[in-house]
Amino acid sequence: MKISINCLNLLKELEGCKLTAYTCPAGVWTIGYGTTVYPDGRKVSQGDTISQQQADAFLLDECRDKAKTISELVRVPLTQNQFDAIVSFVYNIGEGAFEESTLLRKLNDRDYEGAAAEFKRWNKITQNGQKVVCDGLVNRRKKEEALFRKAEASGTPLDLESPLEPPVNWLELYRDRDRTVLVAYHDDRIVETIALKTTLKEDFIELLQQYPKAKTIHIAPAEKSVPQSDRVEFYGRKTPRDLGTPPPLKHKVIKRGMRDKHAEYRDIQTLQQRLQELGYYHLEIDGIFGRGTENAVKAFQADVFGSAEVDGKVGSRTWTMLWSDLPKPEPDSSESDRPQGTYLYLTKTNRKDRFGCYILNLEYVKNGKVRDRLEVCSGQAYAQHFRIGIESKAGSMEPLPEGKWYVNNIIWADSKDRYDGGVFPNGLGPVTTPIKYVEPQYTQRSAIEIHIDWNNRRPAGTAGCVGIYNIADYKKFVTWLRDTDPRDLYVDWGLGTCPKQ
């Protein structure tokens, strides 16, 4: 069986939603509608933030899992209301507790009245080693029992078919000439093959962290060949290229404990602003080189130079790199295959970013010629499945579907061009540009926007929107929109449904 909208509404009412991680009464880090473990197997951690779309999708994913377990454990017919009530119940107590419960035993004995009476018994929490009645649980059980007993007005089942690949449960490492190649398996089936393009240990560690459900890792014998399959490139942390002369650094070195003292010496404010633009600094720009600024500098240095060269101090080398950029690869498809005119064009590469999302090329095409491009992402790392419009499900957490989209006006959380002020409460950051699907046919996907990947530390990615990696890149994107006001976005995943005009 599948849940109905009644179940979702009840869970949203009972759980409440918080977009920043918090500890529940049991001391477990929690986010969204009671999520403690993300769909990819990672536990929620302190400091995590998500968008409203992600919270909704995590709820759907967990309901999908609970519905599957309940369908396997319950051996008697259930009404839609009974099923919805049990999903809410199991969402709270866990699948293991439900499997051992008297409620399930009575249900399978066809004692529906006895099962209904069991809800109210699950009203306690543990405090200081003692079981005590929780008023919140008393209220929750009353509502679940009432829904279980309700005979009329059943909801319509929702289509929650899982879009996910089977989880990777073991890994195998190969050495192919001068490259490390990782093959990820689910049992005996290859899920994907990753070619590591760098030699930094941090990159290797981050690659392994993309497979939290993998229990073992094997080192292939030297004589064993890499299995034949398509390879995805993983670049990890990248070395920027020099774009020109950065703003002058007035001091030889700036470090923790220093502060801007004169109007003509604004090194630290300039540093904080640049770190903020690049997505490393999220505190007040105050001209004081404190712990937060030092941590942001260290994170930037680790990304660019590797952990061995991290010291948290900013000299000429770090300063120069702060105003450098990464080389942008050429697109895979020919410009002759593109629509004529002025528009945005989004394509997929065969490379993944450090968080496990495919790197996408967002191009600005003016009068039929590519004028500029940005690297962006879309969807969650565990759901990188690219589909056409009519096959893309709502709540899938996948990248936006292929097709033609309409670009709406820029919306600011605070005031125009204000990146360091207020942010949208749904996790989209300080600015967003909504887009709407046009053709071909239709898609279930909605609430798709182009915004900064404001949660790009953890969990990274979006709920299907186009995520621009940092403020600096979004500023460039805004210049495109203000240059010619392009309204068309062509999303071309190579599936054959992207219009050519």
Distance CA 291, CA 56 (A): 35
* The predicted structure's pLDDT at residue 71: 93
The per-residue b/e assignment along 166-179, b for 16 or more CB within 10 angstroms, e otherwise, is ebbebbbebeeeee
- Token pair of 89 as six digits: 């119940």
User: In Å, what is the CA distance from 88 to each residue of 85, 126, 149, 266, 325?
Assistant: 5, 20, 14, 55, 49
Distance CA 121, CA 119 (A): 5
* The predicted structure's pLDDT at residue 164: 52
Where helices occur in 155-237 by DSSP H, the ranges are 201-208
Evaluate if residue 474 carries a pLDDT over 50.
yes
Contacts of 375 (CB under 8 A, 6+ apart): 326, 328, 353, 359, 360, 361, 362, 469, 473
* The predicted structure's pLDDT at residue 213: 84
* The predicted structure's pLDDT at residue 242: 41
Q: Could you confirm whether domain 5-149 is CATH 1.20.970.10?
A: no
From 162, 175, 5, 154, select the one nearest 78 (Cα to Cα).
154
Active-site residue identified among 15, 172, 277, 398 = 15
Query: What number is the average pLDDT over the span 315-338?
Result: 68
Active-site residue identified among 13, 17, 24, 172 = 24
Query: What number is the average pLDDT over the span 68-78?
Result: 94
In the chain, what are the domain boundaries? Answer: 5-149, 170-234, 335-492
Evaluate if residue 123 carries a pLDDT over 80.
yes
Distance CA 58, CA 81 (A): 22
- Report the half-sphere exposure of 291 (CA within 13 A, side-chain side): 0
Q: Is 375 one of the annotated active-site residues of the chain?
A: no
Q: Is 15 one of the annotated active-site residues of the chain?
A: yes
Contact 418, 285 (CB under 8 A): no
Evaluate if residue 136 carries a pLDDT over 80.
yes
Evaluate if residue 49 carries a pLDDT over 90.
no
Q: What is the pLDDT of residues 236-257, one digit of tens each?
A: 665 444 445 678 888 899 999 9
- The DSSP symbol for 335 reads G
* Residue of higher predicted confidence among 485 and 305: 485
Q: Could you confirm whether domain 335-492 is CATH 3.30.70.2190?
A: no
pTM score > 0.75 for this model?
A: no
